[in-house]
Amino acid sequence: MHVASVTRRYHFAAAHRLHTEHLSEEENWKVFGKCNNPNGHGHNYTLFVTVRGGIDAQTGRAVAFDTLDRTVQQTVLDRFDHQDLNHDPAFADRTTTGENLVLLIWDLLLAQLPPGQLEKIGLIETRDNYFEYAGPAAQSAAVGRTGG
Ligand SMILES: [Zn+2]
Contact 148, 106 (CB under 8 A): no
Position 148 scores a pLDDT of 37
State the distance from the centre of ligand 1 to the C-alpha of 68, rounded, in angstroms: 27
Active site residue 132: no
User: What per-residue confidence (pLDDT) applies to 51?
Assistant: 98
- Tell me, yes or no, if 35 is annotated catalytic: yes
Task: Please give the distance, rounded to the nearest whole angstrom, from the Cα atom of residue 78 to the centre of ligand 1.
Answer: 20
The residue count of the chain comes to: 148
> Phi/psi of residue 134, each to 5°?
-135, 40
| pLDDT value of position 140 | 57
Task: List the catalytic residue out of 16, 19, 43, 125.
Answer: 125
In the chain, what are the domains? Answer: 3-145 (3.30.479.10)
Task: Tell me if 143 sits within 8 A of 107, measured CB to CB.
Answer: yes
- Dihedrals phi, psi of 7, to nearest 5 degrees: -115, 130
Tell me how far CA of residue 48 lies from CA of 28, 54, 59, 91, in angstroms.
Answer: 29, 20, 24, 21
Establish whether 43 is a catalytic residue. Answer: no
Given the residues 11, 35, 41, 99, the one annotated as active site: 35
Residue 49: other Cβ atoms inside 10 A: 24
pTM over 0.85, yes/no: yes
**Per annotation, catalytic residue among 82, 87, 119, 132:** 82
Task: Return all residues near 72 (Cβ < 8 A) that are at least 6 apart.
Answer: 8, 10, 47, 49, 109
Residue 143: phi and psi, rounded to 5, are -65, -45
Greatest extent of the chain over all pairs of C-alpha atoms, in Å: 60
CA 124 / ligand 1 centre spacing (Å): 11
What pLDDT, on a 0 to 100 scale, did the predictor assign at position 138?
77
Distance, in Å, from the CA atom of 89 to the CA atom of 86, rounded to the nearest integer, reads 8
In angstroms and rounded to an integer, the radius of gyration of the C-alpha atoms of the chain is 17
Give the Å distance between the CA of 12 and the centre of ligand 1: 14
Distance between Cα 71 and ligand 1 center (Å): 26
Low-confidence ranges of the chain (pLDDT < 70): 139-148
Question: What is the rounded distance in angstroms from the CA atom of residue 132 to the CA atom of residue 106?
Answer: 10
